[in-house]
Amino acid sequence: MYDLVLLHSPTVYDFRKEMLFTGPISDVVPSSPVFEMYPIGLTSIGDYLERFGLKVKIINIANRMLLNPNFDVEKKIRKIKTKAFGIDLHWLPHAHGSVELAKIIKKYHPATPVMFGGLSSTYFHKELIEYPFIDFVMREDTTEKLILMLLNKLEKKETDSFFDIPNLTWKKSNFYHYNEMTYVPDSLDEFNLPGYRYIIRSVFKYFNLLDPLPYKGWLQYPNTAILTSKGCTYNCLICGGSKDAYDLNCNRKKLVMRSPKKMLEDIALIQRFTRAPIFLLNDLRQGGKEYVDEFLTGLEQMDLKNEIVFELFNYVDEEFFKRLNKAMPKYSIELTLELADEDIRKYNGKLPCTNVKVIEMLQYALKHNCAKIDIFFMTGIPNQDYDSAIRNVDFCETVHKECGEDLRISYFVAPLSPFLDPGSPAFEHPEKYGYKKFYHKLEDFRAAMKQPSWKNMLSYETNKMTREDIVRATYDSALKLNEFKYKHNIVPKDVHDEVAVKIEKSVEFLKRLDELALLPDDEQKTEMAKIKEEVDKINRHSICGKNELKWEVKKLFADFPSLTTIGMELLVKDIIKGIKCRIGKIDRNIAVIPNSQSNNMEK
């Protein structure tokens, strides 16, 4: 019997049956269009609760469905024995799948509580709680302690009132209650983000390797990431993690950084079981110069073997790259430039510096031994028209030339899709910032995810481009970028040819789907079923090569002997902890929210 089972859903629950042309919406992320990679907050929740003797299991339902076409979801859920279920709705594309999982849970476990969490859950909490199969919504971005409080009450059967649990949305006797958001922790150090120790331990503790895998192919290519912060000092218009979005959605008034010490501990653990690159999520420099110096000094003192990947939100001078080069044997950077047009980029808020400064920064990085630079452009940005989208590729030519045609720079283009981020300035004030929204309620987004074409999944159009224009600009710029890459030997001929064919077929499918939409429903379903297999073949890596985002690293596979050693070490500690819990030396009913952790809250 578990105390909590955390489930991660696919975007669309019945994706294995439905004909869904998702196009390029996941081409520049590790997951497939099913978005089977779960948010790292699930691992932090599991790790935190198990410190108090609870048994918590993560089951990546989306990945299990991908790995095995015959995987029986209902059979799996029916056999689970747990005191509560948790489902993440962090990214809005999971709106359909997450709610469908809740329905299935209540079908087989009608008396077992079901809770939701994540940023999208927080935003749509009032709609979620109205579903008869959802009992609780835990709001805000750091809910580990609140979940412990809730599980304690459920364990004691104190179900008459949950008013004393901050940030909780709940219902009783057909009345809905929205507790005030008064818990916004200003320190992250007691939480492991992500909880790799928890993942490894759970494999050995619960004798199941497949359930907690982060995404399909993780064992072969174990991407790892460390969350450096919550909140943001930037206010990009389209970002659900912007300063305004965090304030509106989570009552988070200021940025909070994880300590360098905690991140260094994470890096030391990760390099014990893989040599894959370690991504630092969010720009480390938001913590200030002293913070960065402390972290980089710590790296210098480590026997560092893994490549570290840094995300940059703004211009960086040469001294920073000198410091990176000194601190570690190998590093890379990622830039989400979005646009070549400086004025539009500045208006949107992402990398608001001149193109001259962008190129200068890239030259500094290359000069100081940066191993790889990924630059991402987007279509669907406010004030961007078709010609502006195409100019992104022209700028790639300029960058390539000014940087000595260095092949360490990789270029990508992708649409802003499928949805505007809830809570972002553009979502909240679309007309002000150049958008028209098609979807507003959670049910709108659930229905959108079942649209057969990604064009009709798009939740917006801009002041310069319709949905059709955004799709055309995406494919035309991707096609032009593909030619640029082949011309300059950035990709080989076979990759170029495969991408060119997929783009051509994608455009054909869009036209075909528009024609099928005019048919009667029964005939439409029959015809769509006929093309499902063809569509599935081009739904992944349709605008870039499947290996372009990967790093060439020796011994990239997960090191199974090391994983086993770490797992056994953690399991022994877990057994000792369990004994302490049973004899009362660890109290799961402690006062979990000291006043000092609520000092940045406003009612």
Q: How does pLDDT run across 216-226, given as a tens digit for each residue?
A: 888 777 789 99
What does the pLDDT average to over 186-212?
A: 89
H or E segment and range at residue 577: helix 560-582
What does the pLDDT average to over 545-550?
A: 83
What was the pLDDT predicted at 595? Answer: 43
Helices and strands (H and E) in the chain: how many: 22, 17
What does the pLDDT average to over 554-565?
A: 69
Confidence of residue 596 (pLDDT cuts 50, 70, 90): very low
Which two tokens mark 321?
Answer: 């790259």
**What's the pLDDT tens digit per position in 314-332?**
999 999 999 999 999 999 9
What was the pLDDT predicted at 30? Answer: 80
CA–CA distance from 198 to each of 44, 230, 364, 421, 565 (Å)? 8, 21, 39, 30, 14
What was the pLDDT predicted at 578? Answer: 67
H or E segment and range at residue 87: strand 85-88
**Type of residue numbered 85:** F
Which of 76-90, 111-125, 516-530 is predicted least confidently? 516-530
- Classify 208 in phi/psi space as left (phi over 0), alpha (psi -120 to 50) or beta: beta
- pLDDT above 70 covers what percent of the chain? 94
Q: Is 357 helix (H, G, I), strand (E, B) or coil?
A: helix
Per-chain mean pLDDT for the chain: 92
CA–CA distance from 432 to each of 38, 246, 319, 462 (Å)? 33, 20, 39, 11
Query: Helices marked H in 370-460 — which ranges?
Result: 386-402, 425-428, 442-448, 454-457
Going by C-alpha positions, the residue among 143, 96, 150 that lies closest to residue 124 is: 96
Confidence of residue 601 (pLDDT cuts 50, 70, 90): very low
Residues in the chain: 603
* 146 vs 530, more confident: 146
Do the beta carbons of residue 238 and residue 420 sit within 8 Å? yes
Query: Helices marked H in 222-354 — which ranges?
Result: 243-250, 260-273, 289-300, 318-327, 342-348
What was the pLDDT predicted at 556? Answer: 53
Q: What is the DSSP letter of 314?
A: S
Distance CA 422, CA 32 (A): 22
How far is CA 392 from its chain centroid? 25
Which two tokens mark 376?
Answer: 């991402």
For residue 408, report the phi and psi dihedrals to the nearest 5 degrees: -75, -10
Confidence of residue 553 (pLDDT cuts 50, 70, 90): low
- Tokens 């049973």 correspond to 582
Which two tokens mark 582?
Answer: 């049973």
| Domain 222-539: assigned CATH number | 3.30.750.200
Going by C-alpha positions, the residue among 381, 280, 259, 384 that lies closest to residue 324 is: 280
What was the pLDDT predicted at 222? Answer: 79
**What's the pLDDT tens digit per position in 28-70?**
888 889 999 999 999 999 999 999 999 999 999 999 999 999 9
Confidence of residue 603 (pLDDT cuts 50, 70, 90): very low
Q: Is 430 helix (H, G, I), strand (E, B) or coil?
A: coil
What was the pLDDT predicted at 546? Answer: 85
Q: Is 337 helix (H, G, I), strand (E, B) or coil?
A: strand
What was the pLDDT predicted at 397? Answer: 97
Which two tokens mark 467?
Answer: 């949905």
What was the pLDDT predicted at 271? Answer: 92
Distance CA 597, CA 591 (A): 12
Distance CA 331, CA 317 (A): 16
Whether the CA torsion 563, 332, 421, 602 is positive or negative: it is positive
Domain ranges of the chain: 2-189, 222-539
599 pLDDT more than 50: no
What was the pLDDT predicted at 554? Answer: 57
Distance CA 375, CA 396 (A): 9
Confidence of residue 523 (pLDDT cuts 50, 70, 90): very high
**What's the pLDDT tens digit per position in 275-302?**
889 999 999 999 999 999 999 999 999 9
- 2-189: CATH superfamily: Response regulator (3.40.50.2300)
Do the beta carbons of residue 148 and residue 49 sit within 8 Å? yes
Can the peptide bond before residue 132 be classed as cis, meaning omega within 30 degrees of 0?
Answer: no
What was the pLDDT predicted at 589? Answer: 67
Q: What's the pTM value of the predicted model, to 2 decimals?
A: 0.94
